[in-house]
Chains A and B, each alone.
Chain A
């Protein structure tokens, strides 16, 4: 195991993100600490993806600051991210997972052992030598999870990973996410599926039009939403 200083907590201080004139995120301040899963919720276009990309360091804020464990730049990190559509490299499932360990400096035997362990955890060990691009959407997302988990991240960011999957695949992916959470990985996941939020969230960040409207525990969010938009959202209305 690499002994790096932690990248948690992730802190946003007055962070805004603009694409041209359009504000994607507007003056957001938050703290992500180790613990149970946090779900990032909100209607489409509310800034969930932007928030996750800022957490991952894929974009820099137009205003405000993002810090990881007190540091302002992200070195070789212990963060991992899953996207809505996973990108499978043109090689076998096993090689895709091992790809996550490229720079680890681990000896080959150890890498193979880790890879097999990760595939076993996501239930895909028998498919290890299959070309990854031939798998179904759900299976590919599980490969992406194995690829992320094999690096033993502190924080796992997921951007609507089951949005394109059928219920069975969704359940499989959610089970793996819960298992990862139980092993101590902080989960921050974007979702627009209320049922999924109920199933997975310990706490909720609710975004509307780029602003962080609410940040509460899951039960408080569903039972006692404080803002009008949150109430409408929980009711199932469209929040414009």
Chain B
């Protein structure tokens, strides 16, 4: 599909297919991180602040799941979403939505585990003060999450890095359909297998550049906020 052109030529000529692929990659990974944040931040904070039987086991599990193999997650979601599977009635296999769901599953443990550690550490410092001020459980969670927001941004970036870089999950649940579920990583895999190695490498460099740009933006946001809030 990208016959003959180099990655650089594609960027310069504003090749629509390339930009569509970049756009899809960003939408899928950013959406996945957004969902994972909404689930993972409160989950991590809750885990940090509550005590119950089996808590240690749950923490170990969560930490371990930071390393969930993407291809295994992909396969599991595939079986769930297949028409013959339990959630087949929704018909979302081989669509970007399936990719978002699968990547969100990959990213939740990362955000939750890192949040838990961050909140637990900050709680040690804040415990007396917040207890003395009679702050209830909801208030504690909200205050600790907000006060550790800079460390949490790093957790989100870690999650984003994982999502943007993986290929196993999106390949399996998305099907790498031309013009529909093809992302940067699956395109790189495809072009590699077609022997278009320079193009594949070029696309790889574009992907890395995108990830770095997002990290730089996050850094900028952090610096600006820190100036305002210390």
Q: Indicate, yes or no, whether A interacts with B.
A: yes
Interface residues of A in 127-177 (CB under 8 A from B): 130-134, 147
Structural contact, A89 and B132, CB atoms closer than 8 A: no
Do residues A131 and B128 form an inter-chain contact, with CB atoms below 8 A?
no
Known: A89-B147, A90-B147. A133 touches B133 (CB 8 A): no
Interface size range of chain B in the complex: 10 to 19
Q: Are B147 and A83 in contact (CB under 8 A)?
A: no
Expressed in whole angstroms, the minimum distance between the Cβ of B143 and any Cβ of chain A is 7
Chain A contact residues (Cβ within 8 angstroms of B): what range?
Answer: 20 to 34
- With A89-B147, A90-B146, A102-B139 given, is the CB distance from A133 to B128 under 8 Å? no
Contact A81 B146 (CB under 8 A): no
A130 to B148, CA, bound (A): 18
Chain B residues with Cβ below 8 Å from A130 are: 230
Which chain A residue shows the least CB distance to B230? A131
Check if B5 is an interface residue, CB within 8 A of chain A.
no
Instruction: Kindly state the separation between the CA atoms of A46 and B163 in the bound complex, as whole angstroms.
Output: 55
| A224: interface (CB < 8 Å) | no
Contact B229 A131 (CB under 8 A): yes
A87 B134 Cβ-Cβ under 8 A: no
Q: A77-B134, A89-B143 are in contact. Are A134 and B128 (CB under 8 A)?
A: no
Asked if A87 and B131 sit within 8 Å, CB to CB, the answer is no
**Closest B-chain residue to A144, C-beta based?**
B129
Q: Is the interface of A mostly helix, strand, loop or mixed?
A: mixed
Interface string of B120-151 (1 = CB under 8 A from A): 00000110110111111001000100111100
- Given contacts A89-B147, A90-B146, are A100 and B133 in contact (CB under 8 A)? yes
Interface membership of A76, Cβ < 8 A: yes
Please tell me if the beta carbons of B230 and A90 are within 8 angstroms of each other in the complex.
yes
> Which B residues are in CB contact (< 8 Å) with A81?
128, 132
Complex CA gap A102/B134 in Å reads 10
Q: Is A110 at the interface (CB under 8 A from chain B)? A: no
A58 CB-CB contact with B under 8 Å: yes
Measured CA separation A76–B135 after assembly (Å): 10
Q: Which of B73-131 contact A (CB under 8 A)?
A: 125-126, 128-129, 131
Whether, in the assembled complex, A27 has its beta carbon less than 8 Å from a beta carbon of chain B, the answer is no
Residues of A40-89 contacting chain B, CB below 8 A: 53, 56, 58, 76-77, 79-81, 83, 86-87, 89
Contact yes or no, A80 B132, CB < 8 A: yes
**Residue B53 lies at the interface, judged by CB distance under 8 Å to chain A:** no
B129 touches A87 (CB 8 A): yes
- Residue B51 at the A interface, CB < 8 A? no
On whether the beta carbons of A132 and B132 are closer than 8 Å, the reply is no
Decide: A83 and B128 in contact? CB cutoff 8 A: yes
Query: Within 8 Å of chain A (Cβ to Cβ): is B194?
Result: no
Give the residues in chain B near A87, CB-CB below 8 Å.
Answer: 125-126, 128-129
> Shortest beta-carbon distance, B127 to chain A, in Å?
9
Does B134 lie within 8 Å of A103, measured CB to CB? yes
Q: Is the CB–CB distance between A131 and B228 below 8 Å?
A: yes
Q: Which 7 pairs across A and B sit closest by C-beta, in order of nearness? A: A131-B230, A133-B230, A87-B129, A81-B132, A90-B147, A134-B230, A131-B229
Task: Give the A-binding residues of B (Cβ under 8 A).
Answer: 125-126, 128-129, 131-136, 139, 143, 146-149, 228-230
Question: Chain A residues in contact with chain B, CB under 8 A?
Answer: 53, 56, 58, 76-77, 79-81, 83, 86-87, 89-92, 99-100, 102-103, 130-134, 147
| 27 sampled A-B residue pairs with Cβ under 8 A | A53-B128, A58-B132, A76-B134, A77-B134, A80-B133, A81-B132, A83-B128, A87-B125, A87-B126, A87-B128, A87-B129, A89-B143, A90-B147, A90-B148, A90-B149, A90-B229, A91-B147, A91-B230, A100-B133, A103-B134, A103-B139, A130-B230, A131-B228, A131-B229, A132-B230, A133-B230, A147-B133
